[in-house]
Structure 1
């Protein structure tokens, strides 16, 4: 997870940068483009294993009378256009084959998709980092203001709710009877990527709790050995 959060963040930023580049590129195209009417002359089918999409072939005449035909880079199913339909065209006067149908999907689909995917990747990475910072702050607050108690080891088991590369981490469980209230409190550790059962101290496990709310706690597992890289 230490690596994954930054990978997601970097991929997200790269995709957002790509989306911005495509947006700027398309906007520059529109600033110099000429608008004319065109006609859909054909629909080209693009087949894949699961679906078929149809891209319109459009014919139009430039302002200086040159006949141009181009195929849209965007396809859909069902087709967005039909043969014989009149459509509005933007084309680059310096390169008439550089043309697009005047429609939101034709003009902005690519930057929109990259922007959405980039935002998702960026938010995942950012939220992982943010939650990590918040968790670390909580631990630091408990170390500074919390009450240290010694809890009784209960058991250590695999956390099947969490998997990385098909592996589940271990979690240590302990308990503590509050002598002031006679309430039994249960605690669990952070994820541990090896079996900790042979390293549990016989004198008990230290847990830092918020005196006003024992549900806010941090189990100190610094007694466990470090895993070599």
Structure 2
């Protein structure tokens, strides 16, 4: 996870940068483009393993009378256009083959898809980093202001709700009877990526709790060996 959070963050930033680049490129193209009317001459099929999509081949005449055929880079199923349909075309006067149909998908699908992917990847990476820092702050606050209690070791089990590369971490569970309220509190450790059972030599495990709210706690597992990676 230490690596994954930064990988997601970097992928997100690259995708967002790509989306911004495509958007600016398209804006520059539209600023200099000339608008003419074209006609869909053919629907070119593109077959993949599971489906067939269609992209339009459009014919149009430039302002200086040159006939151009342009094939859209965007394909869909069902087709977005029909043969014989009239469409508005943007083209670069310096390079008439650099053209686009005046439609949302043709103009903005690329930046939109990259932007959405960028936001998703960046949000995941940023959230993991933010969660880690908030968790570390909580631990530091408990170390400074919390109350240390001795809890009774209960058991070790796998955290099946979380997996990395097909592996689930272990959790240590302990319990403590609050003498002031006669309430039984259950505690669990952070994720541990090896079986800690053989390293638990004592029935007592130290836990730091918020004196006002024992549900805010941190189990001290510093007695476990460090993993040499």
- Give the TM-score normalised by the residue count of structure 1: 0.99
Per-residue deviation, residues 199-222 of structure 1 (Å, max 9, x unmatched): 113151100001111111000000
Within a 5 Å distance, the mapping from 1:114-193 to structure 2 comes to: 114-193=114-193
How many residues matched?
229
Per-residue deviation, residues 92-144 of structure 1 (Å, max 9, x unmatched): 01100000000111000000000000110000000001111111111111111
Within a 5 Å distance, the mapping from 1:1-229 to structure 2 comes to: 1-202=1-202, 204-229=204-229
Provide structure 2 residue ranges, at least 5 long, that are not aligned to the other structure. none
**Deviation at residue 159 of structure 1 after TM alignment:** 1.1
- Give the TM-score normalised by the residue count of structure 2: 0.99
Cα distance in 1, alignment partners of residues 127 and 164 from structure 2:
18
Cα distance in 2, alignment partners of residues 209 and 182 from structure 1:
16
**Deviation at residue 182 of structure 1 after TM alignment:** 1.1
Provide structure 1 residue ranges, at least 5 long, that are not aligned to the other structure. none
- The DSSP-based 3-state class of the residue aligned with 2:214 is strand
Cα distance in 2, alignment partners of residues 191 and 146 from structure 1:
21
RMSD: 0.7
Cα distance in 2, alignment partners of residues 92 and 16 from structure 1:
26
Say whether the 8 Å CA contact 2:205–2:219 is kept in structure 1.
yes
Cα distance in 2, alignment partners of residues 228 and 131 from structure 1:
25
